[in-house]
Structure 1
Amino acid sequence: MSDLTWTDLPEVDPDRPDELVLDFSGEVYRVGTDETFVIGRGGDLDIDDNPYLHRRFLVLRHDSGLWWIANEGSHLSATLTDGDGLVQSRLAPGASMPLVFSRVILTFSAGPTTYEIDLITADVGRFNGIEGVRDSRGQTTIGATPMTRSQLLLVLALAEPVLKRAGTGAAEIPSSASAAARLGWSLTKFNRKLDNVCEKLDRVGVRGLRGGRSGGVASNRRAALVEHAVSTLMVTAEDLPLLDEEHQASRAAAARAESQIDTAPVPPSSGSGRTGEGE
């Protein structure tokens, strides 16, 4: 999740109180109420030459006093989270919804890349505050799904490039092999735990984590997992030091195991001290 504060974000121009402001990796776009703004490969916000991304994906327009976002794509979904991380909505292909919070964090994945964009409107007092449940670290939990420590570490390793970006933008999701190496795990261990995490979240309705289902492609499940984890605050930038701790612990455990092998007594050969038959 972006760790920018309100003072770091661009603000609505007081002379244009109804405008919509988009912040994508420091690129700021200001959209008037008489304009339509398209996000996609070749849209008004030309993100990059990503072949997995629709040319015309998300469309923002002003209507009836509200800004609306519509998904005009055919197979990609987007996630919208309020600026405090308390409310999350999924925007499926063909769906549209109003932007009712003064800051909305838009995230979506296309192929191996996850994108994050801030959408900012004037605070008109429609929704000034929502109570949320916070964990022992003081962070908000949305639809929390119980995870073991190792499962959270796996998610954190995949989400590290996104969480390290100070603000909005795009980040490549690491391969399973790279994420396993980051943790000091074997690839077999990593893939086994990845299957467990995806199955657990799939059971509670998170899309895109298993193959053979509508909207789910197994090859893109790492990106879908990161999108869900970041938008729901399952993992945050504050958790990143845990990766170094786990890597060091894994290396120490491997060193201990190797030392035990080196110092173990060598059993005598089964043929030691025996003469051949017939001698």
Structure 2
Amino acid sequence: MKAVPHLDDLVGSVVPLSRDRVTSIGRDADLSFPGNNFLHRRLIDIYWRDDGWWIENVGAWIPVRYCAAAEALSSILDVGQAMRLSSRVTHLVFRAGGTEYEVVVRIPDHREHRRTESVGLSPGTSTLGPGSLTLEQLAMLVAFCEPLLLAPGVGIDRIRSMRAVEDRLGWSSAKLRRKLDNLCGKLATAGVAGLVSETGVPATNRRIALLEWALATRIISTDSVRLLDLSTVNGPLHPRRDGEDQ
């Protein structure tokens, strides 16, 4: 199956795709998940059109999350919507009743548009963006987003809590809040929306706005998780100097 486009349910079922017919996913479909009456008989159709592969949500009430394998931020394919696939590997995640399903669409012969990563992962390397991000700032973003980076297709609601990030990085609560305040202020000054309210105080949902920006702009990616494995992240990265921005 590796040589042809196919669907993979990640637990042993593989269904080839054909340009001559529509392939479906659902309770009673080509790739079938029987036994769950909350799942549509046909939820997703995959077909070839206009020199490309398309996915379409043909259900009545179940949204489908999708994302390319190289991306962490998922999007929603609403009921009745269709989308042309632009990646060799696309994750589809949907929930019916209390059960969540994941299907991968693999298109080996589809030319993927490659993008240049913007993050340098070596210690001491800064990343260009709105200003420059330090290694600690990047590590903080990755720590918040690690659940999304490790499981493509999940929603932004899976980001870590402040307490969990403190534990992951070995930082105090005061240090994490200071780092978050400084980064949000720097990015807000550079024009990133949603980080500061109209009154100038931190926005209520600024963490979500910050992490959506980081994922959508590829400031961090799945490769960035190795930042958390650098021994320097769990201790002082640089000696503090008087007047240095912490």
Q: Does 2:80 match 1:80?
A: no
Report the equivalent of 2:15: 30
Aligned partners of 2:137 and 2:183 also within 8 Å: yes
Q: Does 2:234 match 1:247?
A: yes
Q: How far does residue 105 in structure 1 lie from its aligned partner after superposition?
A: 3.9
Q: In percent, how many aligned pairs have the same letter?
A: 20
Q: Give the Cα separation in 1 of the matches to 2:217 and 2:66.
A: 7
Aligned CA RMSD, in angstroms, stands at: 5.6
Q: How far does residue 70 in structure 1 lie from its aligned partner after superposition?
A: 3.6
Going from structure 1 to structure 2, the CA distance change for 1:230 and 1:118 (only over 3 Å counts) comes to: farther
Aligned partners of 1:77 and 1:93 also within 8 Å: yes
Q: How far does residue 249 in structure 1 lie from its aligned partner after superposition?
A: 2.8
Going from structure 1 to structure 2, the CA distance change for 1:29 and 1:175 (only over 3 Å counts) comes to: farther
Is the partner of 1:30 in helix, strand or coil? strand
Aligned partners of 1:158 and 1:226 also within 8 Å: no
Aligned partners of 1:21 and 1:31 also within 8 Å: yes
* Counterpart residue identity of residue 237, structure 1: V
Q: Give the Cα separation in 2 of the matches to 1:227 and 1:240.
A: 20
Aligned partners of 1:21 and 1:30 also within 8 Å: yes
**TM-score, structure 1 normalization:** 0.47
Q: Give the Cα separation in 1 of the matches to 2:116 and 2:85.
A: 19
* Counterpart residue identity of residue 37, structure 1: I
Aligned partners of 2:141 and 2:214 also within 8 Å: no
Cα deviation, 1:215-273, whole Å, max 9, x if unaligned, reads xx949939x9379639936142332323x4222338x99xxxxxxxxxxxxxxxxxxxx
Report the equivalent of 2:169: 183
Provide structure 1 residue ranges, at least 5 long, that are not aligned to the other structure.
Answer: 1-9, 47-53, 212-216, 254-279
Q: Give the Cα separation in 1 of the matches to 2:32 and 2:193.
A: 33
Aligned partners of 2:93 and 2:154 also within 8 Å: no
Going from structure 1 to structure 2, the CA distance change for 1:248 and 1:150 (only over 3 Å counts) comes to: closer
Q: Does 2:6 match 1:20?
A: yes
Cα deviation, 1:193-216, whole Å, max 9, x if unaligned, reads 44665674895579xx899xxxxx
* Counterpart residue identity of residue 6, structure 2: L
Provide structure 2 residue ranges, at least 5 long, that are not aligned to the other structure.
Answer: 96-100, 123-127, 198-203, 241-246
Going from structure 1 to structure 2, the CA distance change for 1:62 and 1:108 (only over 3 Å counts) comes to: closer
Aligned partners of 2:117 and 2:218 also within 8 Å: no
